[in-house]
Amino acid sequence: MTNALDLSPAEWGEALRAMGQPAFRAGQVFSWLHKGAKFSEMGNLPKTLREALAVEYDDSGVTIFERFPSKLDGTVKYLYRLADGNLIEGVRMRYHYGDTLCVSTQVGCRMGCRFCASTLEGLARNLTAGEILGQIVAANAEGKITNVVLMGSGEPLDNYDNVVKFLRLLREKGGVEMSLRSVSLSTCGLVPRMHRFAEEGLPVTLSVSLHAPNDDIRRTMMPVAETYRIEDVLRECRYYIEKTGRRVIFEYALAEGVNCAPENAKELASRLRGMQCHVNLIPLNPVKERELTGATRRQAEQFQHELEALHISATIRREMGRDISGACGQLRRGYIREHEAT
């Protein structure tokens, strides 16, 4: 069954016209759905229509199956259940300016980064636009989400069409209506897709998982580096900056003995010189199946100072939700059969 959140207002217009409904119904249905309402709750719709819609569309495509609140900070990890029994994870982080939701874009991931849990079992499938949006709609019911980061399981640009459709739905009038300036999309650097994305005219913040100052080191950490060179990734970043006027964020997970020596910082700084960018340093979070370990706080601070001395702005990301395996690179996929779910 089609997830009701997959449809744009225009698509609802067509679908409802085909059901013999007046034009104004499209806006009503769209706006109810984005508030998290079920068809049965749509009070201003005729009962027969509500019933007909429920036969054709799924209004519970994404539900919060379990919550894991952190004892360390206000972070909550959500385990979401999809209509087909797949389980994905999302994380609510509380900041002084509001709540940020980290959403997944795929069930699993096929990028194979050596330090990340999301890719351990490979890719099961792409999420639809409505399934990405549904994570926000479900979370909104327990506290308004003001910012969204596409940094959960999956590589957003590997699910290009659904992610772009999701972004367009997100800012649609009458829906969740979030400004795309409050959204960050993170990619491991799929060069041709980065180029195409820069041309969509969507003002999201682009984050790029660089993690290494050169291709030799990057290849030991990320299989994608076998296909695309850092130089080409950076060229697309410059293009994105040119097209959107926004600075790019580089993510750099510090792994002990791999990429955090002072000379690595120097090489990184020389590559990023003159670019409108910021580096987010993250001491690598532990993933039990992976052998890489995180740098110490002191190493991270040294690395940051090296970069700043060379005029590259850098911060060490505050780690949240580590006790609930809700931190970067710790999210996983799962699966549950219906009878187990009750």
Token pair 């955090």 in the structure block, residue: 260
Which residue of this chain has its Cβ atom nearest to ligand SAH in the complex?
A: 329
Based on the residue annotation, tell me whether 102 is a catalytic residue of this protein: no
Among the candidate windows 88-96, 112-120, 270-278, 295-303, which touches ligand SAH by CB under 6 A?
A: 112-120
Smaller CB separation from ligand SAH, 244 or 280: 280
Q: Is residue 155 close enough to count as binding ligand SAH by CB under 6 A?
A: yes
Q: Which of 89, 155, 236, 251 is catalytic?
A: 89
Task: Please say whether the beta carbons of 226 and 219 come within 8 A.
Answer: yes
Among the candidate windows 57-65, 128-136, 182-190, 304-312, which touches ligand SAH by CB under 6 A?
A: 182-190
CA dihedral 253, 258, 263, 264 (to 10 degrees): -40
**CA 84: distance to chain centroid?**
21
Based on the residue annotation, tell me whether 328 is a catalytic residue of this protein: yes
Smaller CB separation from ligand SAH, 54 or 275: 275
Among the candidate windows 22-30, 172-180, 183-191, 212-220, which touches ligand SAH by CB under 6 A?
A: 183-191
Q: Is residue 187 close enough to count as binding ligand SAH by CB under 6 A?
A: yes
Count interface residues toward ligand SAH (CB under 6 A): 18
Among the candidate windows 6-14, 45-53, 107-115, 239-247, which touches ligand SAH by CB under 6 A?
A: 107-115
Q: Is residue 260 close enough to count as binding ligand SAH by CB under 6 A?
A: no
Rule CB under 6 A: choose which of 188, 265, 279, 320 binds ligand SAH: 188
Q: Is residue 287 close enough to count as binding ligand SAH by CB under 6 A?
A: yes
Q: Is residue 285 close enough to count as binding ligand SAH by CB under 6 A?
A: yes
Q: Is residue 282 close enough to count as binding ligand SAH by CB under 6 A?
A: yes
User: Using alpha carbons only, how large is the chain's radius of gyration in Å?
Assistant: 21
Q: Is residue 295 close enough to count as binding ligand SAH by CB under 6 A?
A: no
Q: Which of 102, 237, 277, 328 is catalytic?
A: 328
Three-state helix/strand/coil letters over the chain = CEEHHHCCHHHHHHHHHHCCCCCCHHHHHHHHHHCCCCHHHCCCCCHHHHHHHHHHEECCCEEEEEEEECCCCCCEEEEEEECCCEEEEEEEEEECCEEEEECCCEEECCCCCCCCCCCCCCEEEECCHHHHHHHHHHHHCCCCEEEEEECCCCCHHHHHHHHHHHHHHHCCCCCCCCCHHHEEEEECCCHHHHHHHHCCCCCCEEEEECCCCCHHHHHHHCHHHHCCCHHHHHHHHHHHHHHHCCCEEEEEEEECCCCCCHHHHHHHHHHHCCCCEEEEEEECCCCCCCCCCECCHHHHHHHHHHHHHCCCCEEECCCCCHHHCCCCCCCCCEECCHHHHC
Smaller CB separation from ligand SAH, 26 or 113: 113
Q: Is residue 221 close enough to count as binding ligand SAH by CB under 6 A?
A: no
Smallest distance from the beta carbon of 272 to ligand SAH, in angstroms? Answer: 16
Q: 297 in helix, strand or coil?
A: helix
The token pair that represents 292 in the structure block: 């890489």
Q: Is residue 89 close enough to count as binding ligand SAH by CB under 6 A?
A: no
Site string for ligand SAH, 113-152 (x = CB under 6 A): x-xx----------------------------------x-
The token pair that represents 50 in the structure block: 């509500």
Among the candidate windows 78-86, 87-95, 171-179, 280-288, which touches ligand SAH by CB under 6 A?
A: 280-288
Catalytic residues: 89, 328
Q: Which stretches of the chain bind ligand SAH, using CB under 6 A?
A: 111, 113, 115-116, 151, 155, 186-188, 209, 251, 253, 282, 284-285, 287, 328-329
